[in-house]
Amino acid sequence: MPAKRILIVDDNAVVRSLVRRLFESQSDFEISGEAENGRDAIDKAEKLKPDLIILDLVMPVMTGLDAAPLLKQLLPDVLIILFTQQEGSEVERLAQAAGIDAVVSKSQVASELFLKAQVLLASLGRQKDRAKFRNAS
């Protein structure tokens, strides 16, 4: 199975480095690129066509919540995880409305992000298999 391509979007270089190292340590993922804000993420996503986007919320130029619907419009199958310091039901509600697939808090250990990515990608794989089966029958 080909490695899943990830786009990391965060205005903070240290956060991007940590997330990059987290996923690069696993053979089933590859980092296709990094972006520093929502607008940059849209440009990079169009070129790189990632399977998964790790998206920060608070960024200059364009927030993660503003970028997410545009990213989904551009790449309907892409999975988006909002990786943010902000917590609470308000963030969850707005994230869901923006088409974001999951929210992971930066106050959790970074391995939670990795586990969430695995679960989401596995679930997407199962959905695609079911769709193939339905189309074939």
Partner 1 sequence: MKFGQQKRRHRGSSIASTCVVKLLRGIDFEELPLPLTIGTRPAFAWEVTDENTSASHAIKYPHWQRQFEAALVEGDPQSLRQRVDAAESALFLRLQALGESAEGDEERQAISEAMGTLRAIQREKLGYPEWNTK
Binding site for partner 1 (CB under 8 A): 11-15, 17-18, 21-22, 25, 57-66, 85-86, 90-91, 94, 97, 106-111
Q: Distance between CA atoms of 40 and 45, rounded to whole angstroms?
A: 8
Minimum CB distance to partner 1 smaller for 75 or for 83 = 83
Q: What angle do CA 73, 76, 81 make, to 5 degrees?
A: 95
CA-nearest of 68, 50, 52, 75 to 124 is 52
CA distance 124 to 108: 24
Minimum distance, C-beta of residue 78 to partner 1, in the bound complex (Å):
20
Burial (CB < 10 A; 0-12, 13-18, 19+), residue 47, is exposed
The residue (of 33 and 124) whose beta carbon lies closer to partner 1 is: 33
Q: Which is nearer to partner 1, 111 or 137 (CB)?
A: 111
- Least Å distance between CB 14 and partner 1? 4
Provide, rounded to whole angstroms, the least separation between the CB of residue 38 and partner 1.
Answer: 9
Q: How far is the CB of 41 from partner 1 (least distance, A)?
A: 14
Q: Toward partner 1, which CB reaches closer, 35 or 132?
A: 35
From the CB of 67, what's the least distance to partner 1, in Å?
Answer: 11
Amino acid at position 20, single letter: R
CB 3 within 8 A of CB 28: yes
Nearer to partner 1, 17 or 73 (CB): 17
